[in-house]
Amino acid sequence: MDKLIIEGGHSLNGYLSSSGAKNSALPILASSLLLEGKLTLSNIPHLKDVTTMIEVLGSMGANITLDDDMNLEINTSDLKNQVARYELVKTMRASVLVLGPLLAKFGKAEVALPGGCAIGSRPVNLHLDCMKKLGAEVFTEGGYIKAKAEKGLKGAEILFDTISVTGTENAIMAAVLAEGKTIIKNAAREPEVGDLIDCLSRMGAKIQGKGTKEISIFGVKELKPTSYNVMPDRIETATYLTAVTMTGGEISIKNTMPKTLDSVLKKLSEAGAKIKIEDDVINLKMDRDINPVDISTAPYPLFPTDMQAQFISLNTIAKGQSTVIETIFENRFMHVQELVRMGGDISLAGNTATIKGKKDCLHSAPVMATDLRASASLVLAGLVARGETKIDRIYHIDRGYERIEEKLNSIGANIERVNA
């Protein structure tokens, strides 16, 4: 199993380019199931979850070609089955995104429940309730979601009692071929949802309300072939900007969408970073001690939960006390005990972490990644820790960061990936 070995104490300076957004690529790949003909995609990130989604589509009979630059052509016109098998999707919860497109196009779907995902849990129920509202019969059997809509889906009003990004995306994809009008209320406003809407619109879908809490979809008979460039990954961009804020140095990141990062850039400025934006380039310079920054996670456009762990790392070496409140996910503080092992002074009470920051407090230790963003926070801590930090179970990080050690090494880090 691979691990990362990080030598701390190097400032980061140089240039990077954002990769494509995983959380856009996954629903857009699933949307290929809706098409008559070929979908051509560029700026697809080379990540484990993306590879899994491609394998899921391939196992159904999709015709897929992929070049060395991760430009992809996918044609699902001659699908052999409508089953997303457990052995492929067990590591990726986003596999449920194929449910809506399969039902809309083929009138039936079987999607394995991801490992450890109880059917009574709210996230899965949101997806199932959407499909039922649109007229599908949905039940679970043998660890699979089984759904059918023999007479096709019908437009309906869908109200989410809690904001769900993948729930919103699944509902949109199901509704684009449904008969009549669908209204989604309390819809997610994340840029990745907007990216999916833009791609579907290129195919001929009729969708209004992008970026708002109410989205209207007017069903069409069919969608046509198109090409699309996936948006840049705002969380990857924000993670590297946070890294340079922690280590000190100067960085320029191109191929970004700065508007999607307003809440994070504001907090990095509070921490002391000097930020300048030029079109799709974000320039950041850090040459002072770090100010502690209070954050509270919330749905877009507020502070993203996917940057919570990285900011706890930053606050451990700030000059003073800060609080970080997690309002989106329960139990998303798994990284805290690992940061404490490295010398961080962090206490937890419910959904709030209190960090007593101290410059140079972090030191090397063997640590273990517990999830995608937690692993990123440990990499950031390792960049500033004294000595050599060893991070185990880094397969988590490969799900969401493309060649993280190569990118960081290119701007001055000293990270080695070893198989041990």
Among residues 117, 130, 199, 361, which one is catalytic?
117
Determine whether 361 is an active site residue: no
Which letter, b or e, does each residue of 281-293 get, where b requires 16 or more Cβ atoms within 10 Å of its Cβ?
ebbbbbeeebbbb
* Dihedral sign from CA coordinates of 201, 207, 210, 215: negative
Predicted TM-score (pTM) of this structure: 0.96
Q: What share of the chain is helix, strand, coil (3-state, %, to 5)?
A: 35, 30, 35
Pick the CATH number of 22-229 from 3.65.10.10, 3.30.930.10, 2.60.40.420, 3.40.50.300: 3.65.10.10
Its sign, for the CA torsion 378, 383, 384, 390, is positive
d(CA 396, CA 370): 7
CATH 3.50.50.60 is the classification of domain 2-19+232-419: no
Same fold, 2-19+232-419 and 22-229: yes
pLDDT for residue 115: 56
**Helix or strand (DSSP H, E) at 275:** strand 274-278
In our burial notation (b when 16+ CB lie closer than 10 A, e otherwise), range 320-340 reads: eebebebebeeebbebbebbe
Q: Where are the domains of the chain?
A: 2-19+232-419, 22-229
Give CA–CA dist 118/280, Å, rounded: 41
End-to-end CA distance of the chain: 6
CB-based contacts of 357, cutoff 8 Å, min separation 6: 290, 292, 315, 316, 317, 318, 319, 320, 321, 322, 345
How do the pLDDT tens digits run along the chain, 420 residues long?
899 999 999 999 999 999 999 999 999 999 999 998 999 999 999 998 999 999 999 999 999 998 888 899 999 999 999 999 999 988 788 889 999 999 999 999 999 987 543 334 557 889 999 999 999 999 999 999 999 999 999 999 999 999 999 999 999 999 999 999 999 999 999 999 999 999 999 999 999 999 999 999 999 999 999 999 999 999 999 999 999 999 999 999 999 999 999 999 999 999 999 999 999 999 999 999 999 999 999 999 999 999 999 999 999 999 999 999 999 887 789 899 999 999 999 999 999 999 999 999 999 999 998 888 889 999 999 999 999 999 999 988 988 899 999 999 999 999 999 997
Give me the torsion for CA of 385, 391, 396, 400, rounded to 10°. 40
